[in-house]
Structure 1
Amino acid sequence: MERMNEGYPGQTTNPKMYDKSLPGQHYYLSPYLNSDGDDTSSTGQRYRDGQVVELTLFALHNITLFPGQILPFRVAEFMNIDIEIDEFLSGEQSIGLVTCNHILDRQNDRHVDALSLYGVTADVQSFQIGSDRCLVGLLIGRQKFVTLQVSQVEGELFATGKVKILQDPQEPTANDHLAMANTILAQPRPNLSCWPIWVYRLYDKTTLRKKIKKQISGWFDNSHQIFQNNIGCDQFSINVASQLPVPILWRLNLLSMDDIINRLRTILGYLNRYSELCCQQCQAVITRYADVISMSSVGPLAIYVDSGGQQYETVTTSQVVNTSWSSEEATHQSWFPGIISTVLVDCVLNAPNMDTKDRLNVKTLQE
């Protein structure tokens, strides 16, 4: 059990007064970083749909970034990275972020790291250089792309490659809907479909959106942008996909889709078919979707970085099962300011075979 930490902003003895805005601001890195996703001070490059560009590609291990999602980073020896660091930090140069998967090479019977075809461009949202010459900052995902060619591998972390920019189809405007309605009304009656209305609702964006909102209503505060009606279904589908705690390959599948209705139907299918989160190694149940809670204004799933620069895609829940406590309370600063300790939890059935990256980082508020 973790107790509230004295000295952090948002510190309180009442969990109901816990400040959810601080984790999304990545206050643990620096109190001066700007994590506002709508900020336009660092817009970076904007590419046309279908444009082929050459980018420096960085590999994210077991992390999939979506457009609009924030990625914190911490680099100790950033001056040794051989890229145009000044242009990158100023927002004049975008980079590409792709997922690195640990997959089985059946031909050689061994696991290898493979880069995903799909990724997102990213710009520096905010950064700061500490007195120890450590670079900390936030990246924001911008545009989706598919990798056409990796021309030069610079090292374990990044490479140079050509990518093609992809853009989701734009939703019809009110005038487009009106023109479509007039076209349908002008058609002779026999040309209209005789399918029942429920068939159309299976592919209606508004209906799918309402069903998804109902499924995930307990994950977010009512003020969260997902529940705002002024965002289109295209942005809604991306926002939900970025918060969906599903296996990495499923998240990549959602990112790769270029059809809004298909993405919404796939998200709803995941939510309807699966109700539990399991250990990737042994499939033991760890928690349930019903137990997912949000300890951040961003939502229940976000990416955080530790003091060593390792990034983690983290989901917060109210309880876990089939786990064992494997460490004592720690006193280092939490990703969730106001909580003093971090406890590593091992899956009971697979603990001897798990390494540090497979462990669960569990944080709870003391009642």
Structure 2
Amino acid sequence: MEGDVDGTGSDAADTVTYDNMSDEDAVDDAMNEGNSSDEDRNVQHHTFDRALPVKHTYLGMNLEELRGRTFLDDDSYQTIPLLPEPGVVLVPGQTLPLTVFYPPTISMLRRTITTDHTFGVVCVRYATSHPPILADIGTTAEIYAFQDEEETAGFKIKAIGRQRFKIVETQRQIDGNVSAKVRILPEIILGDPLAGASFSSCDKYSKSAKKLKNLENREAVVTRWPSWVYSQFQTQKLMKKLIHLLRHMKIGNPNASFPTDPVELSFWVAQSVPLRDEQKLDLLRIDCAVQRLRWELSVLERCRILCCQKCSSKIAYQRDIFSMSVEGPQGTYVNSGGYLHETVTVYKAKGLRCVSDEPSTEYSWFPGYAWTITECRHCQTHMGWLFTSTQPELRPAKFWGLCRRSLAPKLETGENAEFKPVM
């Protein structure tokens, strides 16, 4: 797929023709037609194979697969090569496709493939003043497939996020690559907060929700805190509440099961919900799944609107988010120029206009759909793409793919509140 180079939409103006204002209403009509009905929101009417985007077939069908899996010891210090990526915050479990043209980076990836297949991905954050700075937190990525072609076609890989790390110090190599000494961050597992006050003779009542609640109330009596305090830190209750909220908001495939492991679920939400870079980095800094789940519940319960990052215009409601992939409603994709876009799929959007002449199927991330570049109608920021079906039997017929870096989650009341981790 093509699109803007830096996510600002500045380059798109040189390569595409802007629609005039009379076309905007037609775009909104096309956006609303067939996308807002209950029939389209019902998963059984979706005929698209959600397993296709995960394969990233636009990279080619002849990628060589790598065997084995690398785990670095928790709390250990490692020296790893870094790949700085603007506007991308990789989390464990997230798929990372790459097309690389820069020779030093290709050399670094080739060396990585011959060793432990592991490198570090760090978000590049642009402050008010340049030069850009690296985040102090990142995630290791393990290469599991690659294709080494001529430089004109690019060096293509598929990797997956594995472990969080904190940068201790960085060093720029002679060839321009960056390596870093990092500390692999451990995952802290919290037990049942009422375990010390529980009675083993009452375990037989644990299968009854009503009896379990009464039992917890009695156990809390012998402690200094009421039972509702402990319930905020009980993993299973947090997971149940979060999954219930995700299903109510229709985030994810209703027919698919959510991760049953609290750590995996916390990272699945982190990669599936359009958060700002700073918010995702805050999540990576949290060492415990319980705290991440509480943080995510706080955000999801308060956030209902997605706005343009630059001008704060309303773009979409969170209830319109849906999954076009088995990995979730948000995925990471790379265009033909090698630029990464974390893209969230929504049924409906407003305040957008198409800026390219004709829909294109070249390098489409969703096989069977053609894409059209879209921008914010108010500030002309590149916002993503409108995908339209090229096959009559494909459902949904149309949907939007919005760039996470171009979105800002806001409260439905319009308050400019910043979300902080729940500690």
Give the CA RMSD over aligned residues. 3.1
Q: Return the match for 1:60 from 62, 66, 85.
A: 85
Kindly indicate whether residue 142 of structure 2 is the aligned counterpart of residue 123 of structure 1: yes
Aligned to 2:101: 76
**CA separation in 2, counterparts of 1:143 and 1:204?**
24
> In structure 2, what residue type is equivalent to 1:57?
L
Residue equivalent to 1:245: 274
User: What's 1:272 paired with?
Assistant: 301
Deviation at 1:232, TM superposition (A): 1.9
Q: Which runs of 5+ in 2 are unaligned?
A: 1-29, 32-43, 203-218, 389-395, 399-423
1:328-347 paired onto structure 2 within 5 Å = 328-331=357-360, 332-339=362-369, 341-347=370-376
**Residue 383 (structure 2) aligns with:** 359
Residue 57 of structure 2 is matched in structure 1 by 27
Partner of 1:10: none
- Taking the aligned partners of 1:234 and 1:180, their CA distance within structure 2 comes to 25
Distance 2:201 2:271 in 1: 36
Q: One-letter code of the match for 1:75?
A: V
User: Per the alignment, in what secondary structure is the counterpart of residue 88 of structure 2?
Assistant: coil
Q: Does 1:224 align with 2:248?
A: no
Distance in 1, Cα, partners of 2:113 & 2:127: 33
CA contact (8 A) 1:88 1:123 kept: no
Partner amino acid for 2:383? R
Residue 86 of structure 1, CA deviation: 3.9
Give the 3 Å change call, closer, same or farther, for CA 145–349 of structure 1 in structure 2. same
1:126-145 → structure 2 map (5 Å cutoff)? 126-130=145-149, 134-145=154-165
Distance 1:289 1:85, change over 3 A: closer
Distance in 1 (alpha carbons) for counterparts of 2:102 and 2:167: 28
Q: Secondary structure at the match of 2:290?
A: helix
Indicate if the aligned counterparts of 2:220 and 2:227 stay in contact, CA closer than 8 A: no
Deviations 1:236-280 (A, max 9, x none): 111211212111110111111112221111100110111011111
Q: CA deviation at 1:289?
A: 0.7
Distance 1:345-1:300 versus aligned 2 partners, 3 A rule: same
Q: 1:94 pairs with 85, 104, 118, which one?
A: 118
Match of 1:51 in 2: 76
Shift of 1:192: 1.7
The residue that corresponds to 1:284 in the other structure is 313
CA deviation map 1:131-159 (0-9, x unaligned): 65532120111111000111226677x41
Indicate conservation of the 8 Å contact 2:172/2:179, yes or no.
Answer: yes
The reply to whether residue 349 of structure 1 matches residue 349 of structure 2 is no
2:307 maps to 1:307: no
Q: C-alpha offsets along residues 295-344 of structure 1, whole Å, 9 cap, x if unaligned? A: 111111110000111110100000111112211223213100010x2112
Q: 1:254 aligns with which of 270, 279, 283?
A: 283
Moved >3 Å (runs of 4+): 32-35, 80-87, 130-133, 153-156, 170-173, 176-185, 222-225
% same residue? 26
Residue 67 of structure 2 aligns to which amino acid in structure 1?
A: S
Once the 2 structures are TM-superposed, how far is the Cα of residue 170 of structure 1 from its aligned partner? 3.4
In the TM superposition, residue 164 of structure 1 has moved relative to its aligned partner by 0.4
SS at match of 1:64: coil
For residues 199-245 of structure 1, the C-alpha deviation after alignment (integer angstroms, 9 at most, x for no partner) is 2222222222112112222122245352x4xx321221112112121
Q: What 5-or-longer segments of structure 1 have no aligned partner?
A: 3-13, 105-109
Superposition pairs of residues 3-14 of structure 1, within 5 angstroms: none
Contact preservation (8 Å) 1:73, 1:309: yes
SS of corresponding position for 1:219: coil
Query: Contact 1:303 / 1:311 at 8 angstroms: preserved in 2?
Result: yes
Q: Which residue of 1 aligns with 2:182?
A: 163
Give the drift of 1:27. 1.2
SS at match of 1:103: coil
Change (3 A) 1:241 1:77: closer
Total equivalences in the alignment: 331
Against the structure 1 CA distance between its residues 42 and 346, is the aligned structure 2 distance closer, same or farther, given a 3 Å change threshold? same
The 2-side partners of 1:134 and 1:256 are apart by 33
Which of 68, 77, 86 lines up with 1:42 in the alignment? 68
Q: Distance in 2 between matches of 1:307 and 1:69?
A: 20
User: What residue identity is the alignment partner of 2:160?
Assistant: I
Cross-structure match for 1:114: 133
CA contact (8 A) 1:77 1:133 kept: no
Distance in 2 separating the partners of 1:266 and 1:273:
11
